[in-house]
Structure 1
Amino acid sequence: MGSCIICGASVDGHICESHQEDVVFDFRGDDPHQLVSNRFYRGTVDGYADFGVFVDLAPGVTGLLHRSELDRRLESLPWEPGDTVYVRVKNVRDNGNVDLGWSIRQSDREFRGTLIQEGETSRLPEEEPEPEEKEAEEAEEAEEAEEVEEAEVVEEAEEAEEAEVVEEAEEAEEAEEAEEAEEAEEAETEAIEGERDRIEIGSLEDRTGESVRIEGEIVGVQQTGGPTVFEVRDETGVVDVAAFVEPGVRAYPAVELGDVVRIHGDVERRREEIQIETEALAVLDGEAAETVERRLANALSERARPDEIDALAEDSTVEALSMPLLDAAEAIRRAVFESRPIVVRHPATADGYVAGAAIERATLPLIREEHSKRDAVYHYFTRRPLEGSVYEMDDATNDVTRMLQDRDRHDEKLPLFLLVGTGSTVESADGIGLLDVYDAASVVIDAAVADPETRESVDTLVSPELADVDGTLSTGALVSSLAATVNTEVRSDLTHLPAVSYWEETPDAYVELAQEAGYDAERVTELREAIELEAYYQSYEEKRELITDLLFEDGGDLAAHVSEQFREKLETELSTAQANLKTENVDGTEFAVLDTDAYSHQYDFPPETLLLDSLHRRVRGDRSVTLGIGTDELYVRSTMDLSLREIADAADEIAPQADITTASVRDGKLEFLSGARDAVENAVIAAIADQA
């Protein structure tokens, strides 16, 4: 038994249960399962990723401090690889992954004590031993004095002998250095001339412990607190290559992103991941580099382009769009094989989330196959939902800022931006133009609307509107067939998604697909409503795990629970809205106008777009228009085929002082000056009546 170093209570060790969080532990173990949850530990920053910080708690024991645990933005952290940090262990998973939490205390003095944990036991820090008895100390001093006297007698002889030994050691050291230099020169020569047979990266799993030679392109560089880690890609995959000079010092500083290299090294496992420990690395040029580049390019072209569209159901619209869909699928697959991050932007709606989740479902397995690192699926794929359906300058500025930081800080390639259900109209032109300034590749897919000008702004555009195709596709249905083409192995996971993306008039082919997959009409409705509700909350977050649980791994309980909340909230809002509609008939067109400022919650579910969609479905007739007007925004819903831009232009002529403009064709949204609200309402009604 011992006593608690904080309160003095009797304990089996040095700290009582109630004061576990008042001390910081220095972990000296070698197994993550020896860590104790809710304890604070001293660690060392290993490196950054998009989703958090890796922290070494001991050699071979590393945890992830996820960005959601931080009290500030990830990019604002002052930590560099090798810095000492203080974290809390939240959980150790069965596979050894360690989940870490943020500690507001970031120095020893902010804790009430320090303990060293060795394995599963802990002890106090080492202290200098003290003499047991004063008499022993005096005897020791006398003995030391005698030894000094004897030492003086032999000192001259020892000095002479030491001088001879030093001379011999210097000669041996010079010989050893010469031998090492010769070996290094031979290794570099071997790396350049390629005397060993080349091994494909895709076969390294079976070669642990072997010495190998690989050739490929540098697609990433990360400086850790220890080695420099190069990501190297060949025609079969990507692997980490560690090169060490001394802790925190850049190895091979002349090697840059995009260089073609030949590497000799040993295949090892680090944190259960394949890694090559470098013996020699040489940058290739001339014919040797051209040979590798040609091999990579040929393999990439062969792997990236699918042979044909794998449509989920017979759909004439999908068939008519086969060529642009193949182009989009190739762009996505090529980004994976080039180790280029993919950023998906989609509206925070059920249709948008279904489309984004379909691409995610198809792409993540490809990334796992391509990269040996377990965290690659977070590093190379991100969904960033949008509040609306326009890719605005605010969104583009955020994306460009992040991509430039990743390029400069982590030597990352510029990402492929996949804009789903957004970016297809001129309202997004400024945002897409900013991406284009930096030559960031973009693919736009939208089943609803598109403008011809978009063709010139993006690398690949998929839209029925620009292909002169009449159809009733949702973006979720269109993108689900694209996702099945990107990765045919996940096709069966996607068959229910198109039905989930429709609020009404779901094509029979997609209803049947969902039923065959075990999703009846009630379950599909619950999924749609649950996704729509979760899309609203924390709308800027991708919620990857939650959306996966709902769409792919839920037995029905989660969706049913969330769907019930959706219905309660929407019905309450609809009842209030319907009771306060202002209706009038203008030249045979029925108008229903809702003051959204007065009769809807501005900062709670449902959002105005969903409220007005639902309200319009409830009150519409043959020739009817539902308007929702707020402080400076007006939404239009109609059973007739109206041109929102023509309405905006005509209304602006009627009320020129209001500055009426089209904010989003896809959302049916106009903007105006708040001081002219009454004039705007009258002008829009007059413009619609004239157009109808």
Structure 2
Amino acid sequence: MSTPNGTGENGTDLADESAESTVVSDLAPQCTLDAVDSEGYYVGTVNGVVEYGVFVDLSDSVSGLVHSSNLNGAYDVGDELVVELAEVRSDGDVSFAEVELDEFSRKTVGPGEKITAATLSEKTGDLGHLDGRVVQIKQTGGPTIFQVRTTAGVVPCAAFEDAGVRAYPSIELDDIVRVVGTPEPRDDYIQIETNSLSTLTGTDETEVVEQLDARTSELAQPEDVDTLVDWPAFEKLSEDLQDVAQQLRETVLDGRPIRIRHHADGDGLCASVPLQHALERFIAETWEDPEAPRHLLKRLPSKAPFYELEDVTRDLNFALENRKRHGQKLPLFLMLDNGSTEEDTPAYRNLKHYDVPILVVDHHHPDPDAVRDLVEKHVNPYLDGEDYRITTGMMCVEIARMIDTEITDDIRHVPAVAGLSDRSDGEAMDDYLALAQEEGYTKRRLVDIGEALDYATYWLKYNDGRELVNDLLNVNCDDHERHEELIDMFAERAQRDVDAQLDAALEHVNHEELDNDAHLYRIDVESHARRFTYPAPGKTTGKIHDQKVKETGDPVITIGYGPDFAVLRSDGVRLDIPEMVAELKEEVPGGGVSGGGHLVVGSIKFVSGMREEVIDALVEKMADAELDEGLGSSAVLSEE
């Protein structure tokens, strides 16, 4: 059997890797004569042999004669040869001439003009071809929807078989493909109605991969923005925050879903909501399907300040179902305001079994050695010599601005809410409060927003409360008057419930003075506070603590405890709660001690039968702690 010069017996390209060789076009089956010009070289397949030459096909609709006078060899039906256009007669007949080439590279040519996400609307109704990477395959009750990423964005391509039958079953995620079809309007977007879909190989595949990689590198670059306030401590984190922003943008472009797991408190919401807003805008900008932001991004609150096995089991089950039912890749998990400690590692190991990537942005005291090998990126101020006063909300507002700088005006006030919610006394707090003041927020109003968020998340439980939380935080909220009314109502009800709780609980608070002259207040919140209502034990302990700080003006420690837990608050006393927990594990055998938090705010767990031993040992450590009047979990708030 004869083959065209430059190819082997199976028609594979011997010169595909030669960048300087002559390019020979291999027309796709749907190509018409419009794709052929007198200057080009083409691969023809012999479909008939006659005395005066051979007939060749260049595509399903392009055929012609190579006269014996223009042939250089003998060919059989099915052989390939390289030809050029010789003549198009007035009656439509086409003739070709064989071309001898020592070397050539073979390039597949699609029918019609090339289509990308940027040119969809211009090509509506016209047959064309689209090259890209398959990033999602979703089987509907009708067509199979292939989401194909081009250099300009992700385009939905609908391929029709019998209802509910998978079209092109050989096509898999991450394949480099050519889609031939027609862009057609569907509801409020445009999709390609597919005539054919095939994988690209050789130089065609290499060229598309190189183009996509170059464009990804360009699109994934974070926006170049200055931080909202000039804070030297933040400069240490700048490169890490940029890395997170870049990886999140790359993840969107790669078609991988993102799951945001955040602590369900004020700082966790101030971290997650701006990022959700920025990422949804970036998805909408780069995906043609208007449903993509809803499917690719989920915000998931966590009640515990760590990633619980209950949560990861549920998350992993949903991810595996979505991969099977909706053709999605397994998601990337973004842990916010939690995820830094050894308590997170059982959940991380579960995800590791499926090679699920994890990013962590947190400001709780970390166990870097415990999580290092389980996460791809760990951003925490403690790792750069700073501490909890740089809140997760402050960091994530900057990441959100790097993803989409246009949302800046919508989130200028958020770092101040985060700082007040998590009692940050960082040196930049005055600057953050001034920024919020410029946007019309007094310090008292920012505190109200934090209280309203805390009250709402308590009742929302595991629900993200998307629209309500957006309105409360005034991020992506379309009605400022509604925001104000909601804050008034939620903050008022939160204060009402706190007052009722304190009326019941304060009579049962026990007081003693420690050897270091700090005041210690204790309360059994399980027995002497209302259960299953707002505020929860941690919040109740914090409110009691705030009141005692105001009353005494001295260093104060407060412990709120139940059968198997204790919540700790401190002002003016340097409690290294994570270190205390580590020591208690060794010193109270059989105590089952675990927990953590910040230096002055935290919680511990233990087995109920060892409560007295654990708390007594804890109090002894508190009595030996160093006083530091500049260090606290609480701040007396002005009414400005």
Q: Bin the TM-score by the shorter chain.
A: 0.7 to 0.9
Once the two structures are TM-superposed, the CA of residue 680 in structure 1 deviates from its matched residue by: 2.7
Q: Answer yes or no: is the 8 Å Cα contact 1:191–1:264 preserved in 2.
A: no
Residue type matched to 1:574 in 2?
Answer: L
Q: Which residue of 247, 251, 256 corresponds with 1:335? A: 251
The 5 A counterparts of 1:276-287 are 276-287=192-203
Question: Normalising by the residue count of structure 1, what TM-score does the alignment of the two structures yield?
Answer: 0.70
Instruction: Identify if the C-alpha distance between structure 1 residues 256 and 471 changes in structure 2 by more than 3 Å, giving closer, same or farther.
Output: closer
Partner Cα separation in structure 1 for residue 469 and residue 595 of structure 2:
32
Equivalences for 1:343-362 in 2 at 5 Å?
343-362=259-278
**Cα separation, 2, equivalents of 1:302 and 1:325:** 18
1:583 aligns with one of 511, 528, 541: 511
TM-superposed deviation, 1:657: 4.4
Pair 409,607 (structure 1): closer, same or farther in 2 beyond 3 Å = same
**What residue in structure 1 maps to residue 488 of structure 2?**
560
The alignment yields a C-alpha RMSD, in angstroms, of 2.4
How far off is 1:328 after superposition? 0.4
SS of equivalent residue, structure 1 residue 424? coil
Please give the alpha-carbon distance, in whole angstroms, between the structure 1 residues aligned to 2:122 and 2:531.
58
Q: Distance in 1 between matches of 2:444 and 2:556?
A: 29
> Is contact 1:310-1:485 (8 Å) kept?
no
* 8 A contact 1:353–1:535 mirrored in 2: no
Once residues 653 and 237 of structure 1 are traced to their aligned partners in structure 2, the CA distance between those partners, rounded to angstroms, is 55
**SS in structure 1 opposite 2:368?**
coil
Equivalent in 449, 462, 465 of residue 543 of structure 1 = 465
1:452 aligns with 2:384: no
User: 1:398 matched to which residue of 2?
Assistant: 314
Aligned counterpart for 2:391 among listed residues 444, 469, 474: 474
Is the CA contact (8 Å cut-off) linking 1:663 and 1:671 kept in structure 2? no
Q: In the alignment, what sits opposite 1:298?
A: 214
- 1:665 is displaced (CA, Å) by 5.8
Query: 3-state DSSP class of the match of 2:329?
Result: coil
1:594-648: CA deviation from partner (whole Å, max 9, x where unpaired):
1011122221111222222222122135432111110111112122222224423
Q: Partner residue of 2:176?
A: 260
Equivalent residue number for residue 611 of structure 2: 677
Q: Secondary structure at the match of 2:460?
A: coil
Q: 2:526 and 2:487 mapped to 1: Cα distance?
A: 31
Aligned counterparts of 1:376 and 1:185: Cα–Cα separation in 2: 40
- Alignment-derived partner of residue 406 in structure 2: 489
- Count of matched residue positions in the alignment of Structure 1 and Structure 2: 510
Distance 1:191 1:405 in 2: 39
Q: Mind listing any 5+ residue stretches in structure 2 that lack a counterpart?
A: 1-58, 64-79, 81-105, 627-640
Query: Does residue 275 of the first structure (1) align with residue 191 of the second (2)?
Result: yes
User: Which has the higher mean CA deviation after the structures are superposed, 576-585 or 501-510?
Assistant: 501-510
Aligned to 2:561: 629
CA distance in 1, matches of 2:378, 2:340: 8
Give the corresponding residue for 1:439: 355
CA deviation after TM superposition for structure 1 residue 202, in Å: 2.1
Matched, 1:598 2:524: no
After superposition, residues 193-342 of structure 1 pair within 5 angstroms as: 193-306=109-222, 308-342=224-258
Q: 1:663, CA displacement in angstroms?
A: 5.8
CA distance in 2, matches of 1:519, 1:286: 60
Contact conserved, 2:110 with 2:128, CA < 8 A, in 1? no
- Note if contact 1:192-1:282 (Cα within 8 Å) is conserved in structure 2: no
Greater CA deviation, 565-574 or 469-478?
469-478
Mapped contact 1:627–1:636 kept (Cα < 8 A): yes
Give, in whole Å, the separation in 2 of the partners of 1:605 and 1:427.
Answer: 26
C-alpha offsets along residues 320-351 of structure 1, whole Å, 9 cap, x if unaligned? 11110010000111111112111101111111
By how many angstroms is 1:192 displaced? 4.5
Question: Per the alignment, in what secondary structure is the counterpart of residue 314 of structure 1?
Answer: coil
Give me the whole-angstrom Cα distance separating, in 2, the residues matched to 1:307 and 1:649. 41
Which letter maps to 1:586?
Answer: L
Which residue of 1 is the match for residue 434 of structure 2? 512
Partner of 1:464: 381
SS at match of 1:508: helix
* Post-superposition offset of 1:300: 0.5
Q: How does 1:134-153 map to 2 (within 5 A)?
A: none
Per-residue deviation at 1:242?
A: 0.9
Aligned-partner residue type, residue 627 of structure 1:
I
Deviations 1:528-561 (A, max 9, x none): 1111111111221111111112222232111111
1:610 has 2:542 as partner: no
TM-superposed CA distance for 1:448, in Å, is 3.4
Distance in 2 between residues matched to 1:184 and 1:432, nearest whole Å: 56
Is residue 227–residue 251 contact of structure 1 (8 Å, CA) maintained in 2?
A: yes
**Distance in 2 (alpha carbons) for counterparts of 1:586 and 1:469:** 29
Deviation of 1:451 after TM superposition, in Å, equals 2.3
Q: Aligned partners of 2:524, 2:62: CA distance in 1, in Å?
A: 79
**Percent of aligned pairs with the same residue?**
33
Q: Distance in 2 between matches of 1:648 and 1:529?
A: 29
Partners of 1:595 and 1:685 lie apart in 2 by 15
Rounded Cα–Cα distance in structure 1 between residues aligned with 2:132 and 2:583: 60
Asked whether the equivalents of residues 442 and 458 of structure 1 are also in contact (C-alpha less than 8 Å), the reply is yes
Deviations 1:566-595 (A, max 9, x none): 111112112322221111123133210010
Tell me, in whole angstroms, the C-alpha distance in 2 between the residues paired with 1:342 and 1:602.
Answer: 35
Q: CA deviation at 1:418?
A: 0.7
Q: Work out the CA distance in 1 between the residues paired with 2:117 and 2:193.
A: 14
Deviation, structure 1 residue 650: 4.3
> Would the alpha carbon gap of residues 210 and 676 (structure 1) be closer, same or farther in structure 2, given more than 3 Å must change?
same
Amino acid at match of 1:489: E
Question: Structure 1 residues 314, 242: CA separation in 2 closer, same or farther (over 3 Å shift)?
Answer: same
In the alignment, which residue of structure 1 is the partner of 2:620? 686
Q: Secondary structure of the residue that 2:506 maps to in structure 1?
A: helix
- Find the residue that maps to 2:463 and give its secondary structure: coil
Q: Label 1:535 to 1:608 Cα distance change in 2 as closer, same or farther (>3 A).
A: same
- One-letter identity of the residue aligned with 2:465: K
Query: SS in structure 2 opposite 1:656?
Result: coil
> Deviation digits for residues 425-446 of structure 1, max 9, x if unmatched?
1221121222222211111111
Q: Is 1:651–1:687's contact at 8 Å kept on the other side of the alignment? A: no
Query: With structure 2 as the length reference, what TM-score do the two structures score?
Result: 0.76
Alpha-carbon separation, structure 1, partners of 2:288 and 2:507: 59
Q: After alignment, is 443-452 or 481-490 more displaced? A: 443-452
Q: Which runs of 5+ in 1 are unaligned?
A: 1-181
For the 8 Å contact 1:530–1:563, the answer to whether it is kept is yes
Secondary structure of 2:299's match? strand
Distance 2:190 2:303 in 1: 40
Aligned counterparts, 1:40-79, within 5 A = none
CA distance in 1, matches of 2:590, 2:192: 68
2:403 & 2:289 partners in 1: Cα distance? 22
In 2, Cα distance between the equivalents of 1:649 and 1:490? Answer: 42
Name the residue aligned to 2:87.
Answer: none
